[in-house]
Structure 1
């Protein structure tokens, strides 16, 4: 996964993240600032995911994106 693409375009991508995971707040998204590990942590916090599940969900979402 080339997460640098997400970090570099976070302002454009965070809308897609919000569509996928609506429980994430705008403050969450600002704090995450494109960092993969922080996004995984927020998914665990907001959705009650285990670490492996958060990583899997994120990887699947990333794979579905049309860059």
Structure 2
């Protein structure tokens, strides 16, 4: 598991607000997190924003 997944798993409630600020189109449903489904979460963000998966991961890693 990479650092993005670790970060999501450990601090998602804190990170969610920052992600929502950057990607204002996202809803709470888009940002629902279930343990073990980090890739699914990133996929939903990617689908809604059109951002590359690697860019989303890099953004989360840098929070």
Q: Please state which band the TM-score falls in when normalised by the shorter chain.
A: 0.5 to 0.7
* Equivalent in 8, 30, 33 of residue 10 of structure 2: 8
Higher-Rg member (1/2): 1
In the aligned structure 2, how far is the partner of 1:33 from the partner of 1:18? 17
How far residue 43 of structure 1 moved from its aligned partner, in angstroms, is 2.4
Runs (5+) with no aligned partner, structure 2: none
Distance (Å, rounded) in 2 between the aligned partners of 1:25 and 1:15: 11
TM-score normalized by the length of structure 1: 0.63
* Residue correspondences, number: 60
Higher helix share: 1
**Structural RMSD (CA):** 2.2
